[in-house]
């Protein structure tokens, strides 16, 4: 699990179920939002979008492979 204190550079989403991504400036790359649950995916996406729009620094936790966002703290 990786932990980043970062700002969000970009947000990407498609109309497909649980397909949203965030560019983590500190990590220099895209990470997919974990699709563990529909509500969790939506809530994480909303928090990341709020951080992006305000320029806030957030703590982002990723899974063991460092490929999916599992938690975000504003």
- pLDDT digits (tens), the chain, 74 positions: 899 999 999 999 999 999 999 999 999 999 999 999 999 999 999 999 999 999 999 999 999 999 999 999 99
Range of the domain at 38: 3-73
- Rounded to whole angstroms, the Cα distance separating 2 from 19 reads 21
Structural domains of the chain, count: 1
pTM of the model: 0.93
Contact 31, 37 (CB under 8 A): no
Report CA dihedral (27, 18, 13, 31) to the nearest 10 degrees. 10
Contact 51, 58 (CB under 8 A): yes
48: phi then psi, degrees, rounded to nearest 5 = -65, -40
- Rounded to whole angstroms, the Cα distance separating 43 from 17 reads 14
């Amino acid at each position: 699990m990786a932990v980043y204190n970062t700002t969000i550079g970009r947000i990407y989403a498609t109309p497909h179920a649980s397909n949203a991504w965030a560019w983590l400036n500190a990590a220099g790359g895209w990470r997919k939002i974990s699709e563990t649950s529909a509500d969790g995916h939506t809530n994480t996406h909303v928090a990341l979008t709020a951080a992006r729009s305000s320029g806030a620094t957030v703590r982002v936790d990723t899974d063991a492979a460092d490929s999916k966002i599992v938690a975000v703290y504003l």
